Amino acid sequence: MNLNNYETLLTEKSGRALIVTINRPDKANALSEKSFLELRDLFDQIAASRGLFAGVCITGKGDKAFAAGADIAAMNAMSSQQGEDFSALAQSVTLQIEALPVPVIACVNGYAFGGGCELALSCDFIYATHASEFGQPEVNLGLIPGFGGCVRLARCIGLGLARELIYTGRRMKADEAVKAGLVNRVFENKLLMLESALETIKVIGTKSSSAVALCKRTIQTTEAQSIEAGLLSERRSFRAAFESPHKSEGVRAFIEKRKAIFS
Ligand code: COA
């Protein structure tokens, strides 16, 4: 496993958390094809390293931007086929994040526009600072959100507000983003935000990893299902939890009045 061999990303382990930093500060951390290829490789490695990490934080280098969107200069030279391929690559990374068995927290410092906002939307939840701003400004460029924004933003904040933001390109500040349900918590600065995200991952790391993974998968798969279909999926996951050694240990530990040890 080599998590340090990237041009556009930095990685740092902190306990059982991995901090991933999008590292193109001179371009407001704009996401290029290279960024997504490297993210794809990184998430492949994390998925293969079962149990090594309890969670991942994604942030942007510096204080200005989480990521100011897809790389506009690169898109200038793309054909429509290349544009579709770029969208497919970026979308595949968002699906990888959703499929990861551990939580991913987007720690949004500064601007999360376009692809940056869409990357954050594919994470399990979002923390932000008071300086954060969110938006899908693609209509200013004659483009549309192509990395999941047309699909995920409405599911997160509701159709009406998502339509307004996408049609107007309006930027939403952190306080409004919390009220809209896009952001869980807002912090004074990036350091406090990262510390809190690491603490959240530390807490999650003390829980049953198989139960957390099942919760993530079940929430993910049932999101777009009918209540009946969702409940069926949940029931199957509940059964899978019963089949795990963690359930035996967790339930027995409660009855024996001791702390569960999840290996
Ligand atoms: N793609 C490529 N480069 C980008 C970029 C993007 N999405 N966003 C910013 N950059 C680059 C700028 O071109 C500039 O590079 P340069 O110094 O070589 O000219 C550098 O990042 C800094 O950006 P700048 O615009 O000078 O900073 P600012 O503080 O005045 O504004 C933003 C920051 C993010 C508000 C502004 O850059 C912006 O609106 N970016 C585009 C956002 C967008 O439309 N995203 C959706 C893309 S589909």
pTM of the shown model: 0.97
pLDDT (0 to 100) of residue 96: 98
Euclidean distance between CA atoms 141 and 74, whole angstroms = 13
Output the residue whose Cα is nearest ligand 1's atom 11. 27
- Nearest-10 Cα torsion for 136, 139, 142, 148: 40
Give the rounded distance of the alpha carbon of 109 from its chain centre.
14
Euclidean distance between CA atoms 248 and 198, whole angstroms = 28
pLDDT (0 to 100) of residue 263: 83
Q: What is the DSSP string of 175-209?
A: HHHHHTTS-SEEESSHHHHHHHHHHHHHHHHTS-H
What is the DSSP secondary structure assignment for residue 70, as one 8-state letter?
Answer: B
What averages of pLDDT result for each successive group of 10 residues across the chain (263 residues)? Answer: 93 97 98 98 94 96 97 97 98 98 97 98 98 98 98 97 98 98 98 98 96 97 95 97 96 96 90
Q: Is 148 in the pocket of ligand 1 (CB under 6 A)?
A: no
- Ligand 1 binding pocket mutation candidate from 22, 26, 66, 72 (most atoms within 8 A of CB): 72
Euclidean distance between CA atoms 201 and 193, whole angstroms = 12
Q: Is 71 in the pocket of ligand 1 (CB under 6 A)?
A: yes
pLDDT (0 to 100) of residue 50: 81
Euclidean distance between CA atoms 109 and 133, whole angstroms = 8
* Among the listed residues 162, 59, 154, 156, the one whose alpha carbon sits nearest the alpha carbon of residue 116: 59
Output the residue whose Cα is nearest ligand 1's atom 19. 27
Ligand 1 centroid–CA 65 distance in Å is: 10
Euclidean distance between CA atoms 9 and 19, whole angstroms = 10
Q: Is 105 in the pocket of ligand 1 (CB under 6 A)?
A: no
Euclidean distance between CA atoms 50 and 106, whole angstroms = 21
Euclidean distance between CA atoms 35 and 68, whole angstroms = 13
Please provide residue 19's backbone torsions phi and psi, each rounded to the nearest 5 degrees.
-95, 120
